[in-house]
Structure 1
Amino acid sequence: MREITRISAIDDTTVSDDNSYQDYYFHLSTQETTSLKTFAQQSHLTLNTLVQAVWSILLSRYTQQDDVIFGITTSGRSIDLPHIDEMDRVIDLLSRIQKEIIDLNQFGYTSLAEIQALARQHYDSVEKTEYPLTIFIGPGTQLSFQFSYNTVHFSNEDIEQITTAFKVILNEIPKNSLKYINQMSLLPQKDQKKILEEWNQTTILYSKVKGIHELIEEQADKTPNNIAIIYAEEQLNYRSLNERSNQFAHYLRELGAGPEVFVAICRERSIELVIILLGILKAGGVYIPLDPNYPEERLQFMLEDTRALILVTHNKLKDQFINYKGQVVLWEEEYNNFQTTKCTVMQATPATWRLLTTVGWQAPKGFKILCGGEALSLNLTEQLWKKGSTLWNLYGPTETTIWSIIMEINSLKSCSIGRPIANTYIYILDKNYNPVPIGMSGEIYIGGAGVARGYLNHPQLTAEKFIANPFASIDKHPRLYKTGDLGRYLPNGNIEYLN
C-alpha cells in the first residue's frame, strides 16, 4: 500500500493527544458556490471531483511531487493519482478524478466498522480522525469547509496559507479549466504583488557605466587620506590604494593585459590582494581568483580552462605552478606603507566562527560579525551574539557576486537570511517558475545587477543555471540565476534558508 502524501515536515509518529487539534473554518460566498455548481453541472462533474482536484493540485505543489495520494472517507480507500502531469489541462485532471471516483463506487456502502478494520484505526465519530490534517466539507448555498489540524505538525500560519491557496485554486477552476495545470496560481492577487514587487523594492540609482575601480579613483580625489582598506593590523588610505593599483595596472599592460584578457591571482587574503585586483581592472583585464588551498591539479585545470595569460602569486606558492606556461608575476610582500589599526569588522564562514569560539576568541568592543557561506545555526548564533555588538547573516553564491541577501540578527528565535540587498531581486519559485505562497518552500532564484554573465567555456551549464527572467517586466533584468537552494518567505517578508 502506498504511503499518504505528506505536507508536514514533522514525522507522523510524533506523539500527540486530542488537545493538539484545532479547527479552521471558512465558507464560499453564494456567488462562488453557484459558480462552482454551474461549472460542475455543465462539465458533467460532481462537487466532490472539483474539491479533490483542488486538493491534488495543492498537494502536488506543496510537496513538489507529481504522484500524490490522499484518503476520502466516502469510499473507505485512498484516492491514488498515479501522476499529475503539469502539462495536462485542468479539465483533463478533473476527468481522471471523476473516473477514479466512479471506479470506487463499489465500495461506497462499506460500513464504518469495516473502514475502521481496514484502516486499523478507531474513530469515535465521523468528525474525528487521527491524521495530522483532515478536511470536512458541508454542502449548501454557501459551501463550507473545516480544516482540522494537528498543531504539532502545522502552525496557525501554515493552515492560513494552505486554505488561502485552496480557495484561490477552487475559485479559478471554473474560469480557467482549459489552462494547463502548471499555469495555475496558488497566490491571491495581493500576495503576488507583495512577493514580486513590494518585497523586491531594492532599486537604488547608481552609475552603470563606471567600474568599481573608477569609483575608487573618484573617492581618492574626494578623500585621499581616508582609510580605504583594513586587514588585520594593517590599513591603506585611498591615495595610496589608487597610486599603487595604477602602477600595477601599467605593468600588467606591458605584459599584454587588456580587455577580456584573463589574469589569474593566487594569494592569501591581504591588502596586496585588493591592490592586485584593482590593478587588473584598471588594465581592462578579467581577474580569476585561485584559492591557494586548492589541490595542485584543480589549480592547473582552472588555469588551462580559463587560458589565463598572466598569473600573479608570490615566492612561497610558485612551486605549485611549475607546469604553467603563461607569464608568472611574483608579488613580494610589502608592509612599509601601512599603519597599524584595530579591526572592527570580520567576515567568515560558520565553520571558522565555530573554531574561533572553541579556542576562546573574544571580540573587541563594537565588533561587527558577518557570517556567510554556510547555514547559520541557532546554537552558533547564540554564541556569536554574545561576542559582537552586531551579528549579520549573509547569503549569496559566487554567480551573483557573492552576497545577495542580508539580515541583522537581533533575535534568537530564528536565523533567517533576511531580504535582498540593493539592486537585487529574489524569487522563490516552484519547478514551473510559479511564485510559491508565503510559507511554502521553493527554489531561490536571484536577479539584478550582480548576476554574472555565466560560466566560462561552459555554455550548456550556463544555459541550465542562468535562465530567462519571467519577471523581467518587473525588475528590468533579462536573466535569473537558479541557485538550487530551497527557501521560503516568512509572513514578515524575510527569507528562511531551508537546505
Structure 2
Amino acid sequence: MTTTDISALTAEEKRALLARLLAETPKTGASARPRSFPLSFAQERLWFVDRLEPESRVYTIPMAMRLKGRLDAARLARGLDAVVARHESLRTRFVTRDGVPAQVIDPPRSLGLRRETVANAQALAARLAALVDQPFDLEQGPLLRAALLAAGPEDHVLAVVVHHIAADYASLGILLREIVRLQADEAAPLPPLQIQYPDYAAWQRGRTADLDAELDYWRRELADAPDLLPLPTDLARPAVQSFEGARHAFALDRDLAAAIGRLARAAGATPFMVLLAAFQILLHRLSGADDICVGSTVSNRDRAELRDVVGLFVNNLVFRTRFRDDDSFERVLGRVRDTAVAAFAHQQVPFERVVDALEVPRTLSHNALFQAMFVLHGAEPAAGRLPGLDIAPVSFGNRAARFDIALDMYEGEHLTGVFEYRTDLFHAGTIDRLARRFVALLTQLTAMPQAPLGRLDLRLDDERAADARRNDTARALPDEDIATLIEARAAARGEAVAVVFEDEATSYADLDARANRLAAHLARHLPQRGGQPRIAVCLPRGTDLVVALLAVLKLGAAYIPLDPAHPPARLVASVEDGNAALMLVRDVAGTVPALALDPPCPLIDLAAEAEDIAALDPVRPARHVGPDDLAYAIFTSGSTGRPKGVPVTRRALLNLLVSMAEAPGMSEDDVLVAVTTPAFDIAALELLLPLLVGGKLVIAGPHVVYDDAELARLLGARGATMMQATPSTWRLLADGGWRAPTGFRMLCGGEALDPALARRLLAGRGELWNLYGPTETTIWSAAIRIRPEDADGAAVPIGMPITNTELHVLDRHLQPVPPGVVGELFIGASASAPAISAGRT
C-alpha cells in the first residue's frame, strides 16, 4: 500500500493498517517511552481529510487576544515556547510509514514568535486573515503558529493559529490560561501533566473492544437515518464541497434568554436541550423533513487528568429527532431531552467508529450522518487584566465552514449566537433571515410551548407584509362581456388588419361581419333547450377558427376547442362529456372522416355550408350572458386516460386578458404570432388578446410551427412584436440561431423554463416573460419579466400573481412558508374554474 492509496481505504482496511501499527510498537517500559504513536480516531479522520484536501483551511482554528499596556514581548515569546514544550500535541507531526499514518513527537524548540507592525484596523484584519489562510503541512509541522502584531507602542494583538488535529477549542482556553499565567509570573512552575495526548490516542485504540456495547446503541439509534438534510439552498449543491464559509452573529434579548431558562427548568431539561429542540424544529419546518439529525460536540475531558491537556479530545454526537403531525414544543422537548441523556451516556464511542459501523455511504458533496451542527458554549473569554496589561479577545474568524450550517450559541451576560455556513450553498441575506427566524421561533415556542407546531408562522414581519403586498391584486373589470368589448374594438379599428393567415388578411370590420353571420347560422341550428349551449369547435389554426370562436361568444354560448389532428376517440369523448349541442368542422370528410360516419352530435361543416352562411345578414346577435356564464370548456389529458373537462367563466377569461394586456402588455401597435393548437388552453390568449386591444393577430400554419427557419422568417416578415410559446418551441428557435429583436416580447409558459434556455433567449435584445398557471385557474396565474440574474439560480421564478389572483405557498399544515422554502402552491382567484370533471362538465 502506498501513500497514494490512502484515500481509497475502506473502514476495514484502515482498522487493519492501524492494528499493524499497534503491533509494531515496541513494548518497552515507561522510561523508554516511544516517540511515535498511533492516531486517535478523530485525528485519523482529519488526517484523511488533509490527504484529500492538503491545502484546505477548514480545520484551522484561530485565537487572538488584544494586549493593551506595557508588554514584555520577550517574556511572552518565552511563555509561548514553554507552553509548546509542555504539550506534546503541539510538537507533533503526522507521517506515513508504509501507507500507515503515525504521529511523531518532536523535541521542544523555540516557536519563534513573529513580531510585526500593523498600521490600522484594516491591516490588522488582513494580517489575521492571512494567518488563517496559510495551510498547514501535517508532515513537516509545526502545527501551531503565532504572531504578535503591534498596532501601537502599548497596543498588541497575539494571534495563535493551530490545526484541529493537534488541539480542539477547549485547548485554546488552556493555551490562553497558561500563557497569561507565565506572563504574570514566569518563574512560577505550571503543575505537571499526568498524561499527554499521544498516550490518550494509544489508550483509545487499545480499548475499542470495550466500546462495542455502546456502539450497539448508536447502531439502533441511527439505523436508517437520512443521508442528507434537504434544507433549501440558494445555490445548487456542488459535487465536491468547497468548505468556503462565512459567519453571521446575532443576539437574544434578556427576556427571551430568561424565558428559555424558565422553560428548561419547568421541563426538567437544560438550556442546551431547549435550544437544540428549537433548532431542530426550525430545520424541520424549513426542510419539510420529519427525521432531523443534528450534530453536536462533547469535550470528552471527564477524567481529571485530561482537563489541562491540549489535544483533540472533542467527539461528535448525533441527536436524532423524528417529528409527528400533532407535535407541540413541549412534546418535542421531552423527546430531545431523553435523546440527549442517552447520547451523553454513550459519548465515549468515537464518531468515526459510529460512521464506519453504520456503513454510511460516503460522498464528497456533504458530511456523513449530519450536515447541521449545534453547540452551546460557556461564556466566551472575558476581558482580563495583568499588572499594567489589559487582555481582551479579538474576533478572529476562519473563513471556512465544516458543515452546511452550524449554530454556535454562547452563554454569558447575553445569550448570543453565530451561524457558520457554506457560501457555496447560501447567500449572506438568507442566513441573516435564518437568524432572525430562529429568534422569532424561540419567542413563539417559549410563549406557547403547548401549541401545535403546525400552527406556527415562520415568516418574519417584513415577509408577511411582502406577501400581503404581492397578493394585493384586486381591481375592477369592465362591465361588458368579452364579445361586446371586441365588437367595440372592431368598430373603432374598422379596416385595420385584424387577422393574417398565410396570404389572407382580414380587417376588423370583415372579421366582425363574418362572426355575426356565423352566429346567426349557429342560432338556427341550436336545439331549443334550457341552459347555456355549448358548441364544439374542431377547426385547424386559421381565420375560420377565430371567426368561429367569436361567433360562439357573440351568441352567448360556450365553445369547446378541439384539435382535428387528435385521435377521433378523444374528440368524441370531449364532445360527449362536454355535452356539446353542435360541432363546427371544415370539410369533415377530409379532416376527420371518422366523425363524418358517426358524429357525436349535429355537425356544422363550414365548407359545405359556406354559401348559406355568407347569405345571412351580418347583424350582431343579441345575447343575455352574465360574468359567471361559461366562455369555454377545455379538455386536458386526464390522469385516468380520459380527457378532463375544465369550464372557464367569462369573468375569468376577461380577467386573464385584461391582466395580460397590462403585463407583459399589448396594444394596437403590436403584432402577435399564434403558434399553439386550439386544444391547448393558452391558445385563447393568442387568439383573443390581440382582438381585445386592437392589435394584429398572425396565425402560423401547421408546417411553420415545427420549422425553426420558417417560423423565424414569419416573425421577421410580419413584423412580429410578441409571441407566446412553450419552452420547446423557444428552444427550437434558439437552436436555429434566432435572436429576439429590440422590444420583442417572448411569452414562455406551459412547461418549466429552465435557466439555460432562459439565458439563451436573453442573449437577444427582447424581453423574456415567464408565465405560470394551471388550466383550472384560466391559463396563467403568475407572470414575471426574467432578468439575467433570474436565470443564474437552479430554477427560474414563476413571478407575481396576475390581476385578481393570490398566490400562497403553504406547508402540509396549511401554514404559509417563508421565501425559498418548499411548499404547495395554492391559487386563489376569480379566475378559478367553477367545477372540474373527469366526465361530464
Distance 1:276 1:323 in 2: 23
Structure 1 position 96, deviation (Å): 2.0
Distance 2:403 2:248 in 1: 15
- Indicate the residue corresponding to 2:746 in structure 1: 369
Structure 1 residues 190 and 379: alpha-carbon distance in aligned structure 2, compared to 1, 3 A threshold: closer
Structure 1 residues 4 and 352: alpha-carbon distance in aligned structure 2, compared to 1, 3 A threshold: closer
Equivalent pairs: percent with the same residue?
Answer: 28
Structure 1 residues 115 and 361: alpha-carbon distance in aligned structure 2, compared to 1, 3 A threshold: closer
Structure 1 residues 137 and 386: alpha-carbon distance in aligned structure 2, compared to 1, 3 A threshold: closer
Deviation string 1:55-95 (CA, Å, 9 cap, x unpaired) is 2222222222222222222484322223x122333322222
Distance 2:425 2:744 in 1: 40
Structure 1 residues 455 and 131: alpha-carbon distance in aligned structure 2, compared to 1, 3 A threshold: same
Deviation string 1:278-313 (CA, Å, 9 cap, x unpaired) is 222222222222233433333232223223222222
Structure 1 position 12, deviation (Å): 7.2
Gaps of 5+ in 1: 463-499
Determine if the alignment matches structure 1 residue 80 to structure 2 residue 320. Answer: yes
| Aligned pairs for 1:63-102 within 5 A | 63-74=287-298, 76-82=316-322, 84-102=323-341
Are 1:232 and 1:342, in contact at CA under 8 Å, matched by a contact in 2? no
Please point out which of 144, 150, 165 is paired with 2:437.
Answer: 165
Are 1:76 and 1:107, in contact at CA under 8 Å, matched by a contact in 2? no
- Indicate the residue corresponding to 2:599 in structure 1: 324
Per the alignment, in what secondary structure is the counterpart of residue 73 of structure 1?
strand
Are 1:33 and 1:141, in contact at CA under 8 Å, matched by a contact in 2? no
Deviation string 1:214-234 (CA, Å, 9 cap, x unpaired) is 222333344444554456665
Please point out which of 231, 241, 244 is paired with 2:511.
Answer: 241
Equivalences, count = 449
Structure 1 position 365, deviation (Å): 6.2
Are 2:245 and 2:401, in contact at CA under 8 Å, matched by a contact in 1? no
Please point out which of 803, 815, 822 is paired with 1:422.
Answer: 803
Structure 1 residues 300 and 106: alpha-carbon distance in aligned structure 2, compared to 1, 3 A threshold: same
Distance 1:163 1:320 in 2: 66
Determine if the alignment matches structure 1 residue 280 to structure 2 residue 661. Answer: no
Per the alignment, in what secondary structure is the counterpart of residue 335 of structure 2?
helix
Structure 1 residues 224 and 28: alpha-carbon distance in aligned structure 2, compared to 1, 3 A threshold: same
Q: Which amino acid aligns with 1:88?
A: D
Query: Once structures 1 and 2 are overlaid, which stretch shifts more, 179-188 or 254-263?
Result: 254-263
Deviation string 1:111-136 (CA, Å, 9 cap, x unpaired) is 8xx3455457999x999973222111
Are 1:161 and 1:438, in contact at CA under 8 Å, matched by a contact in 2? no
Higher-Rg structure is 2
Determine if the alignment matches structure 1 residue 346 to structure 2 residue 756. Answer: no
Deviation string 1:398-452 (CA, Å, 9 cap, x unpaired) is 2111122222234265243332222222212222222111222322222222212
Please point out which of 88, 92, 104 is paired with 2:343.
Answer: 104
Are 2:232 and 2:822, in contact at CA under 8 Å, matched by a contact in 1? no
Gaps of 5+ in 2: 1-222, 299-314, 357-366, 378-397, 615-695, 699-717
Deviation string 1:194-238 (CA, Å, 9 cap, x unpaired) is 11x11122222213x532112223333444445544566655444
Distance 2:268 2:333 in 1: 10
Determine if the alignment matches structure 1 residue 298 to structure 2 residue 555. Answer: no
Are 2:539 and 2:586, in contact at CA under 8 Å, matched by a contact in 1? yes
- Indicate the residue corresponding to 1:250 in structure 2: 520
Per the alignment, in what secondary structure is the counterpart of residue 206 of structure 1?
coil
Are 1:161 and 1:437, in contact at CA under 8 Å, matched by a contact in 2? no
Distance 2:548 2:424 in 1: 55
Distance 2:827 2:504 in 1: 35
Distance 2:429 2:501 in 1: 45
Please point out which of 446, 451, 464 is paired with 2:832.
Answer: 451
Per the alignment, in what secondary structure is the counterpart of residue 559 of structure 2?
strand
Structure 1 residues 141 and 365: alpha-carbon distance in aligned structure 2, compared to 1, 3 A threshold: closer
- Indicate the residue corresponding to 1:475 in structure 2: none
Distance 2:508 2:768 in 1: 28
Distance 2:403 2:283 in 1: 15
Distance 2:697 2:277 in 1: 70
Structure 1 residues 296 and 412: alpha-carbon distance in aligned structure 2, compared to 1, 3 A threshold: farther
- Indicate the residue corresponding to 2:231 in structure 1: 7
Distance 1:385 1:262 in 2: 42
Distance 2:261 2:339 in 1: 20
- Indicate the residue corresponding to 1:57 in structure 2: 281
Are 2:238 and 2:424, in contact at CA under 8 Å, matched by a contact in 1? no
Distance 1:231 1:175 in 2: 68
Determine if the alignment matches structure 1 residue 32 to structure 2 residue 272. Answer: no
Determine if the alignment matches structure 1 residue 437 to structure 2 residue 818. Answer: yes
Distance 1:69 1:204 in 2: 48
Please point out which of 454, 459, 470 is paired with 1:182.
Answer: 454
Distance 2:458 2:580 in 1: 48
Structure 1 residues 317 and 246: alpha-carbon distance in aligned structure 2, compared to 1, 3 A threshold: same
Are 1:428 and 1:435, in contact at CA under 8 Å, matched by a contact in 2? yes
Are 1:165 and 1:437, in contact at CA under 8 Å, matched by a contact in 2? no
Structure 1 residues 78 and 362: alpha-carbon distance in aligned structure 2, compared to 1, 3 A threshold: closer
Structure 1 residues 233 and 43: alpha-carbon distance in aligned structure 2, compared to 1, 3 A threshold: farther
Structure 1 position 457, deviation (Å): 5.0
Normalised by the size of structure 1, how large is the TM-score? 0.79
